[in-house]
Amino acid sequence: MERADLHDEHTVFTRTGEFADRDAFTAAGWCAMERSLEVVGTRSAMMLVREAFYGGRRFDDLVRRTGLAETVASKRLRQLVTDGLMERQPYRVPGARTRHEYVLTERGRSLFPLFVALMNWGATNGAQGGVELAHAGCGEPLLPAVRCGAGHDVGIEETEARLAPFGPRSGEQGR
Amino acid sequence: MERADLHDEHTVFTRTGEFADRDAFTAAGWCAMERSLEVVGTRSAMMLVREAFYGGRRFDDLVRRTGLAETVASKRLRQLVTDGLMERQPYRVPGARTRHEYVLTERGRSLFPLFVALMNWGATNGAQGGVELAHAGCGEPLLPAVRCGAGHDVGIEETEARLAPFGPRSGEQGR
DNA sequence: CTGTATCCCAGCGGATACTG
DNA sequence: CAGTATCCGCTGGGATACAG
């Protein structure tokens, strides 16, 4: 029934009062965040996704641009395909023999906000240089944001954590 | 000078033509994403940040709610403090002896969009249940979004990757 | 060019035992 | 309650060598 913690001045999220025991939050099955980390929680996975975003498709390019060892890239790509983030597609340039390329699936592309968030947070470290993401239309740099289903901008203090109701998830990816 | 890749139908990001060699993207110093992963790329780090968002502050609570071993939590918390994501603050309940609590710094709180992105991506896996984040004002679930500095919504196809100019980073965290 | 097989090391995370 | 010290297994990632 508690809505606030002992030291309110440090409260970040509010929590709805549906749980007598705050530990129910943690115990409520697997956290969605941990599920994400199981798939894209490794450096190699995100680096390969990054290069796919940048347009890399051939094994050789992905290996060279990520700087990963071939063995690591090979194993991780196979897992990414298994996990449904990438597809291995055959293609042929006329006159050459058939090759394969790795392309992001829709699920893989839906990592876009996560990727932007990672890029932005790492870029606000005081470090400079490197690749920057920008809006192709106006040239302004990209920023991660948080909205609600009704379209409101949501700040961290206006966020509420609660147990999800049964039934399908209400939140799909925004564009 | 290339703006598009060999197989345009699969191009994700466009790239500006400033680089004769596409590998310059990767070689351009450390990727900001990798810098992020060095700090929050472990399961334990993100779990502790998560619990801090949920309002956990005392060592004991953080350990129990994350399910981490004490040793792991201890080491990771120390590192999070070192990395500037958390602060260890003394406090006293009158009549009791001084205790410490871990509170997120502004830098730690700026992981909010990343956290939302991870939660949302894991929740769109077909799995159900668990904690859901919502807008305290209207009750709608939270969605990660991507905007540019001019306030436009940016989709993945309108994104351009380029080498950041010298000088301070233009992109600060949106709210 | 696109991988796979092996071997190796470092780091993450857990179990146990012990301190203030 | 709030940690630290030690030990230990597992996995991520790299090096080398080899194959279709």
Query: Is A154 an interface residue toward B (CB < 8 Å)?
Result: yes
Please name the residue whose C-alpha is nearest to the C1' of nucleotide D4.
Answer: B71
Query: Is B104 an interface residue toward A (CB < 8 Å)?
Result: yes
In this prediction, residues A82-86 reach a mean pLDDT of: 97
Q: Quick check: B159 and A135 CB within 8 A?
A: yes
Query: Which nucleotide lies closest to B59 by the C1' atom and the CA atom?
Result: D2
Which pLDDT does position B11 carry in this prediction? 80
Which pLDDT does position A14 carry in this prediction? 87
User: Does pLDDT of A169 surpass 50?
Assistant: no
Nearest CA of chain B to the CA of A136: how many Å?
A: 5
Min mean pLDDT across A3-7, A141-145, B104-108, B156-160 is at A3-7
pLDDT class for B27, splitting at 50, 70, 90?
A: low
Going by C-alpha positions, the residue among A120, A114, A144, A148 that lies closest to residue A132 is A120
Residue A99 near residue A92, CB atoms below 8 Å: yes
Q: Select from A118, A140, A148 the Cβ nearest to the Cβ of B114.
A: A118
Query: Which helix (H) or strand (E) covers residue B75, if one does?
Result: helix B70-82
- Cα distances (angstroms) measured from residue A122 to each of A23, A99, B31, B95: 31, 35, 8, 43
Q: Nearest chain B Cα to A30, which residue?
A: B130
3-state secondary structure of A147: strand
pLDDT tens digits for range A150-162: 999 999 999 999 8
Q: Select from B14, B46, B135 the Cβ nearest to the Cβ of A148.
A: B135
d(CA A86, CA A78): 9
Which pLDDT does position A168 carry in this prediction? 47
Q: How many helices (H) and strands (E) does chain A have?
A: 7, 6
pLDDT tens digits for range A5-51: 444 667 899 887 555 466 666 655 579 999 999 999 999 999 999 99
Interface of B with A in 10-29 (CB under 8 A): 10-15, 22-23, 25-26, 28-29
CB of A79 within 7 Å of some strand C atom: no
Query: Is B147 an interface residue toward A (CB < 8 Å)?
Result: yes
Interface of B with A in 120-139 (CB under 8 A): 120-125, 127-139
3-state secondary structure of B133: strand
pLDDT class for B7, splitting at 50, 70, 90?
A: very low
pLDDT tens digits for range A126-151: 777 788 999 998 999 999 999 999 99
In this prediction, residues B67-82 reach a mean pLDDT of: 97
pLDDT class for B22, splitting at 50, 70, 90?
A: low
d(CA B61, CA B70): 11
**A88 φ, ψ (degrees, to nearest 5):** -100, 110
pLDDT class for A174, splitting at 50, 70, 90?
A: very low
Going by C-alpha positions, the residue among B137, B163, B84 that lies closest to residue A147 is B137
d(CA B18, CA A7): 52
For residue B53, which residues of chain A lie inside 8 Å, CB to CB? 12-13, 156, 161
d(CA B38, CA B87): 19
pLDDT tens digits for range A97-127: 788 999 999 999 999 999 999 999 999 987 7
Eight-class DSSP state of B156: G
Helical spans, DSSP H, in chain A: 23-27, 32-40, 43-54, 59-66, 70-82, 106-109, 112-123
Give exposure, A24-63, as e/b (b: 16+ Cβ within 10 Å).
ebbebeebbbbbbbebbbbbbbbbbbbbbbbbbbebebbb
Separation of CA A69 and C1' D17 in angstroms?
Answer: 14
pLDDT tens digits for range B141-152: 999 999 999 999
3-state secondary structure of A31: coil
Query: HSE of A63 in the Cβ direction (CA atoms, 13 Å)?
Result: 11
- Cα distances (angstroms) measured from residue A23 to each of A11, A20, A164: 16, 9, 15
For residue A67, which residues of chain B lie inside 8 Å, CB to CB? 26
Q: Quick check: B174 and A144 CB within 8 A?
A: yes
Token pair of A108 as six digits: 């893989």
